[in-house]
Each structure stands twice: as structure tokens, then as C-alpha cells.
Chain A
């Protein structure tokens, strides 16, 4: 799974909460699909042995002492990547809905220097992801809002993303949300001049939502996201961009 020559430079972050059952399969799929990545599982305070399964699967494990939320788990991965001096980071969910075979496609625009951040879109892949009507409508609303602020992404709520160091630096700041980092963080990155792209990815249909997402109630999520989008646009853009943020550590 690890290639000593480059795994320090490229990380695959998998935030997980009580995913002991599905994580081994995800890690096995990752091992079979990609090489040259250090696989890092961020265990967000699981009580079902997720961390042990991750370690058995050959992943580096970062353990939160208690549950902090999906966003905080991702950010722990970003902080780890920053300390490692990684130049490229891919994030995917632990529930098996993302296909690791799509990783090379996500990474390519970053390697070519075309984008800083690439979002894996569920709406352009070969397989159609089985989404509820509410989620589809919500996706449309957020897509429209993102477009309003200049971000042209068809799937702004996708958690399957690849990014370079500039994005990682920005996302390690305190402005990154602990709960649901979705459209608001894309707008945040856009405001800092980072280039956001999109690539179609296949999603495994019929996957039970990850534990890390399950408590997300649609009404609160919509309210929270609309407020966060407004806040991102209303805040003054601080002079400390990604470069400056990196020198602070």
C-alpha cells in the first residue's frame, strides 16, 4: 500500500467513525487501486474498534480522544499532511461509497497544475448514485448558490476530493468547520483565489450513509449551510492566505 519513495508526499485521508465493519474492505480496495499514497485513517472517537481495523489494514491511524465531528476529523488529516510536508492530499469516506479507482483521475489536474482543488462529482460518473429527492433538491440549491458566488461545481457536497498544499494550508486554519465542511469551504477556498475543478466519479449505490454523516439532519444542515455561505461571503478576506498560514507553524 505504501511506496516509501513518495508516500510521504501524497496522502489519502479517510475520516471514520464506527466503521469497523466496512473499513477493512475500503482499505483493501484502496490497496488494490492506488499506490504511492500513505493511507491515513482519522478515527473520530469510535467505540467499535475502527482504529484497530485501520491499523490491521496497514493504515496510519490518528485517534481523536472523543468524537469531534466529520470536519474536525478531516482537519486532523490536513494538519497531519501539513506536518509531513505532503504536496498532495486525497480525501474519501470510510463507508465504501467512493471508488478508489477514481483517485488517479482526481489527482491528475493537480499534478498538471490546472487546479488546486478537485471535487469528485457524482453527477458525471458512469454509475448513478442513488440519492433521495430531498438530497437532490438540496444539492441543486447549493449548486446554484455556489454558482452565484462564482464556483461552478455540479456536486458541491461531495466528500471525495483531491487538493494540493495551498488548500491544505488554508483548511488547517480555525475557519474550517468542525461539523459539515461542504459548499462553504469551497467558497472559502475560492475567495482565497484557489482554483477549483471537478471530475466525474462513480459512486457505489446503496451504501448505508457513513456514521460520521448520519446524525446530519436535513433541516439543520440546510440552515447551517446557508448561514455559513452567507458568513463566508460577508467576512473580510484576511491578508493571511495559504502561504502566510504555512509560515505561521
Chain B
């Protein structure tokens, strides 16, 4: 058998290796913890309902992949990765980068709104001062 054949066998062997129950338990636990944290934050009004959809989806998706190792294996093979762990890390990193970009866009919009509001405060304060000035009242 040549090197390419041995490598393919090794890839198949690693991909078909069962996920240890400890890892599976940890992944399910982490998914549940994330779900619980999101719900707890919503309950405390620390996280707006409008921001929860993506986090709930992540928690549920992670839980589905943790329980169904076949599904994770399928996704791993589709991506061309060797181990399910690589797949999980790939999606986690992609999600974090996308989240950062999303919040940068939101922050840009909020900065613009804060700037416009502050300018409005400055202009209205000046108008108020004019109206309160003695000469203005005399008129």
C-alpha cells in the first residue's frame, strides 16, 4: 500500500472512531449551560429578547451535534475534516468572527445615533438658553 492509501485508511479510521462518552457528556452539558445562561439573562433583563435567537440556535445546534455523533461525523466528512473536534472548532471560530463583525456594524449604527442625539441636545440646549434669556422674554 502506498502512502496515499495509508493516509486514506488513517483518515477513515479517525473519522469512524467513536466519540468518548465523557466528551459527549461535556458537550451536552456545555450546550445546556449556554441555553440556561441565555434564559437566565433574559429573565434578568440583561439580554434583550431580540438578541437571543442566534444564541438559542447555537445552543440547540451544539446540543444536537453533541447527542447525534452521526450527524457530526457526516458534517465532518462533508467538510473534509478528519476529526469531529476540528469541525466544532471551525464552526466556533467562524461564529465568533461573524458575531464580532455583526456587533461592530451595530456599534457603528449606535455611535451614529448617539452622535446625532448629542448634537440635538446641544442645539436644543442653545435654543432653550435663548428662550430663557431676559431679552427674549421681554420681546
Question: In this complex, what residue of B is CB-closest to A178?
Answer: B115
A68 touches B125 (CB 8 A): no
Interface string of A52-89 (1 = CB under 8 A from B): 00000000111111101000100110011001000000
Q: Is B121 an interface residue (CB 8 A)?
A: yes
Interface size class of A (residues with CB under 8 A): 10 to 19
Complex: how many Å from CA A89 to CA B118?
22
Q: Which residues of A contact B126 (CB under 8 A)?
A: 60-63, 80
Complex: how many Å from CA A75 to CA B116?
10
Q: Which residues of A contact B116 (CB under 8 A)?
A: 174
**A residues at B contact (CB < 8 Å):** 42, 60-66, 68, 72, 75-76, 79-80, 83, 174, 178
Main secondary structure, interface of B, reads: helix
Can you list 18 contacts pairing A with B, beta carbon distance less than 8 Å?
A60-B126, A61-B126, A62-B123, A62-B125, A63-B122, A63-B125, A63-B126, A64-B118, A64-B119, A65-B121, A66-B118, A72-B115, A72-B119, A76-B122, A80-B123, A80-B126, A83-B123, A174-B112
Complex: how many Å from CA A43 to CA B58?
46
Main secondary structure, interface of A, reads: mixed
Measured CB to CB, the closest approach of chain A to B136, in angstroms, equals 13
Complex: how many Å from CA A178 to CA B123?
17
Contact A65/B118 with A174-B112, A178-B111 known, Cβ cut-off 8 Å: yes
Question: In this complex, what residue of A is CB-closest to B126?
Answer: A62
Q: Which chain B residues (87-130) contact chain A, with CB distance < 8 Å?
A: 111-112, 115-116, 118-119, 121-123, 125-126
Q: Which residues of B contact A61 (CB under 8 A)?
A: 126
